[in-house]
Amino acid sequence: MPKLKRTDAQKEDGKLLGAILYLLEMEGISKSELFNRAGFKQTTPFRRWNHPDDFTLGELRRIARILRTSVEALVSGKVDSAHDKAS
């Protein structure tokens, strides 16, 4: 059976989630703590994590503020330099 190629959307989702996980580790914050501090309702985090393209701009802004980075850095997956500048 041939390997399935990841779509561009899947690659972008991976960058976003990878950036969030990396910054959670750097900040010492759990996913549940992040979502609580960002004001997510109880079922929303699971849905967003499984369907990252459903994040709203406002949600990404709140996450970026908590993780001390920019929305642009989260979406691009280039969080190293953006996080250092925000610290």
Q: pLDDT tens-digit profile of 3-51?
A: 788 888 888 999 999 999 999 999 999 999 999 999 998 888 999 999 9
Q: Name the pLDDT band for 80 (thresholds 50, 70, 90).
A: confident
**The whole model's pTM is what?**
0.83
Structural domain contains residue 56: yes
Domain that holds residue 42: 11-86
In total, how many domains does the chain have? 1
> Which domain CATH number covers 56?
1.10.260.40
Residue 4 belongs to a domain: no
In a domain, 55, yes or no: yes
Q: Give Cβ neighbours of residue 83 (< 8 Å, ≥ 6 apart).
A: 23, 26, 67, 68, 69, 73
